[in-house]
Chains A and B, each alone.
Chain A
Amino acid sequence: MSKNRIAGITSNTVPWEILRAAGYTPVLLEDEAGPTPHADRWMEDVFDRRFRVIFDRLCAGAWNHLDRVVIPRTSEQEHKLYLYLREIARTQPAGAIPELYFYNLLHTRTPESYDYGLERTRQMMRDFDVSEDELRDAIAESNRARGCVRDILQKRREGRLEGSAAIEMIRGFYSEDRGVFANRVLDRLKNMQEPVAAHRPHILIKGAPVKDASLHHLVEEAGGYVVAEDDWRGSRAAGDTDVCVNKDPVTAIVEKYFYDEVSPRVHPVEHRDAWFKREIARGHVDGVLFYVPLEDDVQGWDYPEQLAYLESRSIPSVVVRDNDAPLADFVGSLRRE
C-alpha cells in the first residue's frame, strides 16, 4: 500500500478492500453542479444525473486526478456507462479517460451467480496484483469504518442525530480514507448526547437513491425526523455485517458484496425487500416517504406491493417525485407517542 493512487468508483459494490490493498484510495464519483456537454451529446435521457456527470467529467478530462475508474455490474446504467466510456476512449483523442476496469459481480441470488462472482473477484485480485495478506489489512481498516457507520445509525435510532447530518457523515465512508473517516466520526459522535427528535414522527425514506441531504432537510423542516433510508448511501452503507475475518479473505469479500450490499438487480424480491420489512417490523417507523421520480425505472415497479405491505400494517406513506414537494401535511398527519 505504498503508492497513493486514486481509483474512482461508481457505487457501493466495488470491493473497496481490493483497491485499497492494491495501493489505491477509492473515491465514490459524485454528482456536481454545472453543464454536461459531453453527456448531452452522447447519452440518452434515461441516465441519472450522477452518471451523466461522471461520463461528462471523464470525457472532458476534468477528473484527471483519477488513476483508474472501477465500475461494477450493479445496475444497468453502470454497465452502459462502462460501454460508453470505452467507446469514447477508443474513438476520441487519447488521454482524457483513465484506465477503466469492470467488475462483473451479479446479484441474482443463485449458486451459479455466486460462483461467477467468486471467480471474477479472484480475477480482480490477480489483475490488481493483490496478496491475501494485503487484503486482510484492508479488510480490517474497512471493517472499522463499517463499525463507525453503525455507530452513526445507532445515534440516529436513539434520536440524537438528525437524518440530514447522518447522511452527510456517512458520505465520508465512500469519499475518504476509511481510517480517517473512522477517527473523525468517533470524535464527532462523542459530543452528540442531546436528544433532537423527541416526539417528532419517525420517517423512513424509500425509493430511488437520494443524491444528497436535501430531501432529509425537507422532512426536517416539516417537523419530521428521518430515522433511516433504504439506500446504500445512508442506512445501508455498512450493511448488516462486517467482512468476515475468519475465512479465506477473497471468499469473505464476495460473501459481503454478494449477500449484504444493495443493488437494483437483487433477485428474488424477498431478499430485495428484507431490510425494508425488517425496519418496518421493528416498530420505530411512523411513516414512509417513497422517493420515486418519473425518471425512475426500477422502484416504481416495487411501489404498489410495498404500499400494500405498509397499508396492511397501517403505516402511512407518501410518494414524492422531486425534492421540493410539500411535506408539511403528510408529516403533520403522523403521530409519535
Chain B
Amino acid sequence: MNAPFYKFDLFGFDVSLIIAFVIGIGFGFALERGGFGSARILAAQFYFTNMRVLKVMFTAIVTAMIGVFYLSYIGYLDLSLIYISDTYIIPQVVGGFILGMGFIIGGYCPGTSFVAFSTGKKDAIVFILGVTFGVFIFAELYPFIEDFYYSTNMGRVTLPDFFGLSYGMVVFLVILMALGAFAAAEWGERVMAKKGESK
C-alpha cells in the first residue's frame, strides 16, 4: 500500500471529496477543542498574553512533520508526490500581512471563523461575510493584479533544498525550534501574567 492514496488512484475524485469532508470535520473539531473557536484567545496571541495559537500550531507542524518523515522513510509515503505550491515570495509576504491584519482586527482566520460560527458565535458570521466580500473584491481586481500575483516565482522550494541540509537534519532543527518556542512561550506567559498582576 502506498500513499498518497489519491495520487495512486486508490479512489477517485468523488470519493476524495467525501474524505476531504470527513477530514475537514475532524480538523474543525480539533481546532475547536484547541480553543481556536474563541476570538479572545486567537487575538491574545498577537499581544503575547496567551501563546496558545503558537503552541497548537507548532505542535501540529511537528507532529505532521515527524509522521511524514518516518512514513516516507519506511516507504509508505512518496514525499515527492505531496503537493507543494510554488513560492511567490513578495506576493505571499504581502498576502501574509493582509491576512495578519484581518486576523488581528477580526479575531479569526478564515478557518477558525467557521469553527466559531459552528459554535454559535455572532461575531464569526460577520467575519465570514467579510471574508466573502473580500473574496469578491479580490476576484474583481484580479485582472489588474495578476502580474504581481505571479511575480517572483521561486518554484517549489522546501527547507532542505533551500538550506542544502538533509531532511533528517531539518526535522531535528524544526523540533528544536518548536521546543525552544514552547519553553519561551511558557516563560513569556508567566512574565505577562506578573505584569498584569502588578498593574
A interacts with B: no
Residue positions of A touching B, CB distance < 8 A: none
